[in-house]
Amino acid sequence: MQISGAQMVIEALIAEGVDTVFGYPGGAIMNVYDEIYKQDKFQHILTRHEQAAVHAAEGYSKASGKVGVSMITSGPGFTNAVTGLADAYMDSIPLVVISGQVPMSLIGTDAFQEIDAVGISRSCTKHNYLVTDAKDLPRVLKEAFYIARTGRPGPVHVDIPKDVTAQIAEFDYDVKLDLETYKPHVKGNPRQIKKAMEAIANAKRPLFYLGGGIINSNAANEVRDLVHTTGIPAVETFMARGTLSYDDKLLIGMLGMHGSYAANMAMSETDMVIALGARFDDRVTGKLSEFAKNAGVIHVDIDPASISKLVNANYPIVGDIKNVVVEMLKHVPMIKSDNYEPWRETIENFAQLHPLTFHEDSERLKPQWVIKRVGELLGDDANISTDVGQHQMWTSQFYPFTRPRQFISSGGLGTMGFGFPAAIGVKAASPEKTSINFTGDGSILMNCQELMTAVEKKLPVINIILNNNFLGMVRQWQTLFYDKRYSETDLSVQPDFVKLAEAFGGIGYRVSTKEEFDVALKEAIERNIVAFIDVKVERLENVMPMVPSGGSLFNMMLLEKKESK
Q: Specify the residue, 117 or 263, whose C-beta has the smaller distance to another protein.
A: 117
Catalytic residue among 11, 16, 35, 50: 50
Counting contacts by CB under 8 A, is residue 136 touching another protein? no
**Kind and range of the H or E run holding 437:** strand 434-440
Catalytic residue among 42, 113, 287, 372: 113
3-state SS, residue 465: strand
Question: Looking at 17, 76, 108, 304, which residue binds another protein (CB under 8 A)?
Answer: 304
Residue 162 among the catalytic residues: yes
Q: Is the dihedral of CA 523, 526, 531, 532 positive or negative?
A: positive
Q: Is 415 exposed, middle or buried (0-12, 13-18, 19+ CB in 10 A)?
A: buried
Catalytic residue among 112, 341, 481, 522: 112
Distance CA 320, CA 300 (A): 8
CB of 177 to another protein, least distance (A): 12
Q: Is 239 exposed, middle or buried (0-12, 13-18, 19+ CB in 10 A)?
A: buried
The residues, any chain, with a CB within 8 Å of residue 178's CB and separated by 6 or more, are: none
Counting contacts by CB under 8 A, is residue 257 touching another protein? no
Q: Specify the residue, 92 or 368, whose C-beta has the smaller distance to another protein.
A: 92
First to last CA, the chain: 80
CB of 434 to another protein, least distance (A): 38
Backbone angles phi, psi at 98, to 5 degrees: -105, 125
CB of 118 to another protein, least distance (A): 6
Residue 473 among the catalytic residues: yes
Are 58 and 88 spatial neighbours (Cβ–Cβ below 8 Å)?
A: yes
Distance CA 448, CA 295 (A): 46
Catalytic residue among 126, 142, 162, 457: 162
Stretch that binds another protein, among 80-88, 115-123, 206-214, 293-301 (CB under 8 A): 115-123
- For residue 153, which of 243, 70, 72, 58 has the smallest C-alpha distance? 58
Alpha helices in 402-471 (DSSP H): 419-429, 451-456
CB of 86 to another protein, least distance (A): 13
CB of 114 to another protein, least distance (A): 17
Q: Is the dihedral of CA 519, 520, 522, 527 positive or negative?
A: positive
Counting contacts by CB under 8 A, is residue 305 touching another protein? yes
Backbone angles phi, psi at 214, to 5 degrees: -65, -40
Distance CA 250, CA 301 (A): 22
Catalytic residue among 393, 473, 544, 546: 473
Counting contacts by CB under 8 A, is residue 123 touching another protein? yes
Are 13 and 172 spatial neighbours (Cβ–Cβ below 8 Å)?
A: no
CB of 132 to another protein, least distance (A): 8
C-alpha atoms less than 13 angstroms from C-alpha of 294 in its C-beta half-sphere = 10
Residue 546 among the catalytic residues: no
Q: Site size for another protein, by CB under 8 A?
A: 16
Q: Specify the residue, 136 or 502, whose C-beta has the smaller distance to another protein.
A: 136
**DSSP secondary structure letter of residue 412:** S
Q: Specify the residue, 140 or 235, whose C-beta has the smaller distance to another protein.
A: 140
CB of 37 to another protein, least distance (A): 32
Burial 112-136 (b: 16+ CB within 10 A, else e): ebbbebbebbeebbbbbbbbeebbb
Question: Looking at 34, 225, 271, 303, which residue binds another protein (CB under 8 A)?
Answer: 303
Q: Specify the residue, 55 or 126, whose C-beta has the smaller distance to another protein.
A: 126
Question: Looking at 66, 127, 135, 433, which residue binds another protein (CB under 8 A)?
Answer: 127
Q: Specify the residue, 140 or 251, whose C-beta has the smaller distance to another protein.
A: 140
Alpha helices in 203-281 (DSSP H): 213-216, 220-230, 261-269
Beta bridge partners of 236: 210, 254
Residue 420 among the catalytic residues: no
Residue 66 among the catalytic residues: no
Question: Looking at 195, 283, 287, 309, which residue binds another protein (CB under 8 A)?
Answer: 309
Question: Looking at 17, 76, 108, 119, which residue binds another protein (CB under 8 A)?
Answer: 119
Counting contacts by CB under 8 A, is residue 124 touching another protein? no
Question: Looking at 40, 110, 174, 181, which residue binds another protein (CB under 8 A)?
Answer: 181
141-180: which residues touch another protein (CB under 8 A)? 147, 179-180
Question: Looking at 90, 115, 130, 520, which residue binds another protein (CB under 8 A)?
Answer: 130
- Which residues are tagged catalytic? 50, 112-113, 162, 473
Chain contacts with another protein (rule: CB under 8 A): 118-119, 122-123, 126-127, 130, 147, 179-182, 303-305, 309
